[in-house]
Amino acid sequence: MKTAELANKVFDDSVAKYHITDNIDFPCPNPYEPTSLEGILFAKNWVDAVQWHLEDIIRDPQIDPLEALALKRRIDASNQVRTDMVEEIDSWFRDKYAHVTPLPDATINTESPAWALDRLSILALKIWHMREQVERKDADEAHIAKCKGKLDILLEQREDLTSAIDTLLDDIENGRKYMKVYRQMKMYNDPATNPVLYGKKD
């Protein structure tokens, strides 16, 4: 099984397991070796699933402002974790392909393998939730038809992205592409670079 195909399997497994409890505080039941690619991908998607539902909760128009603030802080922290995990996945690929010597005309891709897999992880969540809408018994036919059309597009998008990722990895493995990993260097979470946190004066 190719890497992106494997990722889809792991992501779908994670999404299904999350929805057994549908609880943002339920601990991640990772069935894979934590340092394996499958283990890292499962944990990454679990974080994505939790954040997806945090984003749903915070949009409740009746939410208590203090609860909303606490959720916003949690979402911010989750975003940092997600970024760190993507970089961990890229490090895994960089180690895997460290022995490869790029061809003289090798080129770099617009995004790294891990950031492409990040999009695949989010697609797994979109597909699960759009399928949930299609299967609703309390929705009218127009809503079902609209969501069915969107689901078809999401499934096509996943197929295309899966193929593109596996092609990219094959190109890297054979020296036609090469990897460069740029750290995100997020500034707003860093007390040394966020003016509000380090107390910048006007």
Q: Tell me if residue 64 falls in helix, strand or coil.
A: coil
Average pLDDT value over all residues in the chain: 94
Angstrom CA distances, 198 to 17, 108, 189, stand at: 41, 37, 11
Exposure of 133 in the CB half-sphere (CA atoms within 13 A) = 17
Residues 101-145 pLDDT 10s: 999 999 999 999 999 999 999 999 999 999 999 999 999 999 999
First to last CA, the chain: 57
Q: What is the pLDDT of residues 35-71, one digit of tens each?
A: 999 999 999 999 999 999 999 999 999 999 999 999 9
Beta carbons of 171 and 177 less than 8 angstroms apart:
yes
pTM score, two decimals? 0.90
State the DSSP string of 101-154: PPPTT-EE-SS-HHHHHHHHHHHHHHHHHHHHHHT-SSS-HHHHHHHHHHHHHH
C-alpha to C-alpha distance for 118 and 123, rounded to whole angstroms: 9
Q: Would you list the domain boundaries of the chain? A: 3-188
- Specify whether the CB–CB gap between 93 and 166 falls below 8 A: no
- CB distance 50 to 163 below 8 Å: no
Residue 196 has a pLDDT of: 66
Per residue in 166-199, pLDDT (tens digit) is: 999 999 999 999 998 776 666 766 777 777 667 7
CA 98 centroid distance within chain? 24
